[in-house]
Amino acid sequence: MKIYILMAMVMLSLSSCLKNKDEILDYRGIKPIVINPKSNYPSKTILPTLLTDSAFGVTRLNLIAKYSFQAPAPRDLKIAFIRDDAAMAKYNPFNTFTPLPADAYEMSANEAIIPEGMQLGVLPVKIIPGKIAGSKRYIIAFSISSAEGIDIPGNSKTIIITLKGQ
């Protein structure tokens, strides 16, 4: 009797692995998106947002834009970044951090270019250490504001960075 029960269990467990081969997944409706792969705000978990590690003596930050799709960018894409004061205020309600003054960093442009055939574009931000005073803790946030008509998910467009004074 035990052998019949064992055989029945084996047959039932093996039959559950069968799949209908007539079904093919349809990916035609999926559209590309542009994200900031280092995005950390708002938090994607139930835990509080963790800022990018504070950096003492940093002179360059890289804002990264990624064309997220199965194929690389079909043409050169201009991805615009803006300073996001609203995200800084929302993250910093008790003024623990001082917003980084506008004259404490330089951007050659406000756009990262994702070249045709690639998936990443970088916009360097030069930090001017002489404009960062004392032992203050600074905060700066950047968000992707436009991507030439390509969708930007709200939870993958903003990065908040903290910097320590000298």
Question: What is the spatial distance between Cα 159 and Cα 152, in angstroms, rounded to a whole number?
Answer: 14
Q: Which domain holds residue 115?
A: 31-164
Name the percent of the chain lying above pLDDT 70.
81
Higher pLDDT, 10 or 117: 117
Task: Establish if 7 belongs to a structural domain.
Answer: no
Give the model confidence (pLDDT) of 57-109 as tens digits: 678 899 999 999 989 999 999 999 999 999 999 988 888 889 999 999 999 99
Task: Establish if 159 belongs to a structural domain.
Answer: yes
Task: Establish if 103 belongs to a structural domain.
Answer: yes
Task: Establish if 21 belongs to a structural domain.
Answer: no
Task: Establish if 44 belongs to a structural domain.
Answer: yes
| Residues pairing with 124 in the sheet | 62
Confidence of residue 124 (pLDDT cuts 50, 70, 90): very high
pLDDT at residue 139 is higher than 70: yes
Confidence of residue 53 (pLDDT cuts 50, 70, 90): very low
- The conformation of residue 91, written as its DSSP 8-state character, comes to H
What pLDDT score was predicted for residue 20?
A: 59
Give the model confidence (pLDDT) of 28-39 as tens digits: 788 999 988 888
Mean of the pLDDT values across residues 136-145? 92
What pLDDT score was predicted for residue 48?
A: 59
CATH (domain of 118): 2.60.40.1740
Task: Establish if 113 belongs to a structural domain.
Answer: yes
Q: Which secondary structure element, helix H or strand E, spans residue 89, and what is its range?
A: helix 85-91
CA separation, residue 68 to residues 8, 73, 150 (Å): 47, 9, 10
- The conformation of residue 151, written as its DSSP 8-state character, comes to B
Domain total for the chain?
1
Task: Establish if 26 belongs to a structural domain.
Answer: no
Q: Cis omega (within 30 of 0) on the bond before 42?
A: yes
Query: 53 exposed, middle or buried (CB, 10 Å; 0-12, 13-18, 19+)?
Result: exposed
Q: Cis omega (within 30 of 0) on the bond before 48?
A: no
Task: Establish if 110 belongs to a structural domain.
Answer: yes
